[in-house]
Every structure is written in structure tokens, then in C-alpha cells.
Amino acid sequence: MTRAVLSLGSNLGDRLAHLRAAVAALGDAVLVVSGVYETPPWGDADQPAYLNAAVMVADPAATPRDWLERARAAERAAGRVRDPERRFGPRTLDVDVIAVWDAAGEPVLSDDPELTLPHPRAHLRAFVLRPWIDIEPHGRLPGHGWLTDLLNAEPLAGDALELSPRPDLALESTP
């Protein structure tokens, strides 16, 4: 596998530092990083606002499982603690593998419960789609369509309006 889109989010502690540490942990695999967006919490409104971003990564030797392990390692390094009682609760860092493409540029599909590809709820999340558009303006979510069409469709149009670009906050694409 060679290329993946990862979604980054943080709403506890030094949110920007957590996102920057995740990008740094991905190292030379990082191709491009989106802008940073401040977003209301999704799924559980009783928590602080998030900072979100997207990262395009590539590694000719990486499998989808490798991207998942790298995501989890970054979360552990940020002190992420998973609360089984609160699935969409606050977190220091959340790194989701959104989509993976193989060496031929074909999307990888997986129904593995631990790593479903593409991410089963990405098409419903403006905080994933909007940053992804920053790094791939003509991108498509495999099985769902053009990112811009998804972002502008109901019910996401309202969610997209709640995203606040944060041009004052930048993530570096190199460690």
C-alpha cells in the first residue's frame, strides 16, 4: 500500500501540540497537511471544541494495518485513554485512517471491524471532509463520491458552516 488519508483531532490539553506531535510521528511519510479547523464536538456535545486536520501520507511498504498501528502509536504518545462508556468522548488525540490506496492507485476496501475502509462515517463528518479538501481539492471518498459534493449535501451543509478555519494555527509537514 502506498497512500492514505488520516484525520487528526484533539480537544484535551494542548490541542495544537497534540496535532503537531502526530504529524511529527508520521515523519517522512507525510506528503501534505491541511489547515487547522476548530470544530464543535460530534456525537457527544458535552465536551470542549476540537482542533481537526487531515494528512496525506505515503509509504510504499505500508499496509492498511501499518497505518492503523501508526495512528494508534501517535494516540498512545499523546496519552490517549479510550473510554468504553463514552465512544465519542473527549480525547487528547484521535487519528483515524480514512482511506487507503494501493500501489496502482486503487482504493483499498476492508470490512474488518478493527479497520473498515473507507472509514464508515467519513462521508458524514464535515470535520473530516473539509480538511481533506484542503489537501486534495478534487478528491473522492471511495464508494461515496466527490468530497465537495459530500460536504455540501444534507445533512452536512449545516455542520460545514460550524467549522472555523484557524489560519493562525499551522501544522508543519516536516518534523
Distance in angstroms (rounded) separating the CA atoms of residues 100 and 135: 15
Listed residue (8, 6, 26, 163) closest to 94, CA to CA = 8
pLDDT at res. 173: 43
CB atoms within 10 A of CB 87: 9
pLDDT of residue 158: 62
pLDDT at 15 over 80: yes
- 43 CB neighbour count, 10 Å cutoff: 11
Least confident of 14-18, 80-84, 126-130: 80-84
Split at pLDDT 50, 70, 90, the class of 8 is very high
Which positions are catalytic?
Answer: 80, 91, 94, 96
pLDDT mean over 34-50: 89
Identify the band that residue 175 occupies on the pLDDT scale cut at 50, 70 and 90: very low
Element (H, E) at 110: strand 110-112
Question: Which pLDDT does position 29 carry in this prediction?
Answer: 97
The pLDDT score that the predictor gives to residue 79 is: 87
pLDDT in tens, 110-160: 999 999 999 999 999 999 999 999 999 999 999 999 999 999 887 776 677
Tell whether the model's pLDDT for residue 51 goes beyond 70. Answer: yes
pTM value? 0.92
Average pLDDT, the chain: 91
Buried b (16+ CB within 10 A) or exposed e, 114-137: ebebbbeebbbbbbbbbbbbbbee
Residue-wise pLDDT for 159-174, tens only, equals 777 899 999 999 974 4
Burial class (CB in 10 A: 0-12, 13-18, 19+), 106: exposed
Q: What is the mean pLDDT of residues 14-31?
A: 96
CA distance 59 to 128: 22
What share of residues in the chain are helix, strand, coil (percent, to 5)? 30, 25, 45
